[in-house]
Structure 1
């Protein structure tokens, strides 16, 4: 049960006949009924005799609140606060211009929290929908998952071969000026849903290589340079150095995607290579 403790009641007299009528005011303090400590951030509503809300306030750090009634009459206070029982005070009769100072005491009501259950399988599946902070649906063929890599291991010499087999639009695999095998995005074909892929053919050793000629990047496209490449978050310089048997996933990021993750060093795109166990 709530309790009201009226501290004082004062009637304000009109100064003159033309002065507006003074409002009826209740100034109060909301307290814990056991400890009498102030309760902050509680909702206090002034309710008239018909049950209609006429004013409202939120208690401050000292538990103080002020509500006003436009007309004299019978009013009640309703208090709500998480962790306490929502309660309504006994009625108060407010005379014209009356100011009432009071304490409003309410009881604690423990909040019962439902148990939290974490489904480990669901969490893993949820995490699997994002790679490098990007929704996998936006990556399309530029995300190379384990199910696309494993069937190619027997006929691939290195990570470069894995990439060549993917036929990713706009991706060219070849050597840079220092003889390192790297990946490049060709100008005019850098689009998430772009068309055109460099052809590949089997070589005498059973691997694959780029077909030179019409599909080789132009000189201006060569000037674009190689993508930045990361193996389990460590930068590396040649795809020939990656043990193909350890590769779990590969991701090709466009410059627009990589910029926010890798900064200015990603202006030519980024290739991410993950080995087994580093990305679930």
Structure 2
């Protein structure tokens, strides 16, 4: 099934614009440092010299990732996956004319799960208000927290399954050639964000539910920050 023509036209326009800008790209694989096996669904972040996140991606089942570098400068990459220690590269200067930087990331297994800081529901609610401009109690659909997501992992291994079986009345899950769409009649497909960064449809289901702390489904016009609504996924480090 194909997306509506207007959506396709907009996507093509965005691709043409990005090609015109000759955006730089860093890409490679996330690999286990013991046996070079791919580490699928790892989250890879592009951080600038001040530690600010500039881009984010999720590795596919073969460990492959690709990140667009917003501008020439000095950056580092950070890779995270449950069961592995987070790793960061040294600072890397990215300003080559060809704009392509191949870089594999080796992550080391964590034999014992690393417990994060305890975060209360009140802390999460405060952070959600800061991120969305709305109280969680006022949202149409109740936020899913870490304990809720753990219950869903056995039944829903990815975001599309979660949206399909998560009792989101008024949202229809559609499958298109370039990925899923979470359709609200009269409004179209809800955009999807990971830690505040938009994802393309093909990347929606690359994000592992066990990597997330909170998932919010925001209806159009519920949030000033997200007037079109959206599915907002946050990792533990971001929600804290």
**TM bucket by the smaller chain?**
0.3 to 0.5
**Structure whose residues are more often strand by fraction:** 1
What's the TM-score, normalizing by structure 1? Answer: 0.37
**Structure whose residues are more often helix by fraction:** 2
Structure number with greater CO (CA < 8 Å, separation at least 6) is: 2
What's the TM-score, normalizing by structure 2? Answer: 0.43
